[in-house]
């Protein structure tokens, strides 16, 4: 069995796409996933699967959520090694604990990424590294560099987490 981290885009936000985590855990277990754990109510999941391909896991979870909860939710799946490398490979000058990490559902197209690279707003800035955008901002809730911005500019679904959430997901993978 392999450990996977699952990030769901846009659940339990503003009363939309309401999904109870305990119910989600049961649905995922019914679909063959083991040791399913969630962290807070915003779509952070750690689980074990025999499946080796993250894309297949993402499709299975997407279909299960669509069928059970009647929600069309983008699902991002990766292993703990990818998350560890994402945190360690911070290309900014900022302490990684002060960053927000936006995960793109596809690698950023080079032409589109180059078109926005170096853009800053007020004191907020970002760096794109493949399928991850490292956001340096004073308050994520106030920055223009949010999921919608990157989805529009990079033509990819995106979901953002802070350092604390990412560290907690790694702790869950490691059984802590």
pLDDT in tens, 5-53: 999 998 877 778 889 999 999 999 999 999 999 999 889 999 999 988 9
Using the 3D structure, point to which of 52, 78, 104 is the last residue of a domain: 78
| Residue 96 confidence (pLDDT) above 90 | no
Q: How far apart are CA 113 and CA 73, in angstroms?
A: 25
Across all residues in the chain, what is the average pLDDT?
92
The token duo for 171 is 């702790």
Counting beta carbons within 10 angstroms of the beta carbon of residue 173, is it exposed (0 to 12), middle (13 to 18) or buried (19 or more)?
A: buried
CATH number for 46: 3.30.70.1280
Number of domains in the chain: 2
**Rounded (5°) CA angle 150-88-57:** 60
Q: Are residues 62 and 91 in the same domain?
A: no
Q: How far apart are CA 175 and CA 24, in angstroms?
A: 20
Q: Are residues 132 and 157 in the same domain?
A: yes
Predicted TM-score of the model (pTM):
0.91
Q: Are residues 58 and 92 in the same domain?
A: no
Which residue is listed with tokens 């994520």? 140
Q: Are residues 102 and 51 in the same domain?
A: no
Give the other-Cβ count within 10 Å of 134's Cβ.
21
* Domain extent at residue 45: 2-78
Q: Report helix, strand or coil for 103.
A: strand
Q: What percent of the chain has pLDDT above 70?
A: 99
């Amino acid at each position: 069995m392999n450990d996977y981290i699952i990030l769901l885009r846009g659940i339990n936000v503003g009363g939309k796409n309401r999904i109870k985590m305990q119910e989600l855990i049961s649905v995922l277990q019914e679909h063959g996933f083991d040791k399913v754990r969630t962290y807070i109510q915003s779509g952070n999941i750690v689980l074990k699967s025999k499946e080796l391909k993250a894309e297949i896991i993402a499709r299975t979870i997407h279909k299960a959520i669509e069928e059970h909860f009647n929600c069309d939710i983008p699902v991002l799946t990766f292993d703990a090694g990818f998350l560890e490398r994402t945190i360690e490979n911070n290309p900014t000058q900022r302490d990684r604990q002060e960053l927000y990490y936006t995960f793109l559902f596809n690698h950023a197209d080079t032409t589109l990424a180059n078109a926005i690279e170096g853009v800053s707003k007020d004191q907020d800035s970002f760096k794109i590294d493949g399928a991850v955008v490292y956001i340096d901002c004073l308050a994520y809730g106030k920055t223009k560099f949010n999921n919608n911005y990157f989805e529009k500019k990079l033509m990819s679904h995106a979901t953002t987490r802070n350092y604390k959430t990412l560290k907690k997901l790694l702790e869950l993978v490691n059984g802590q």
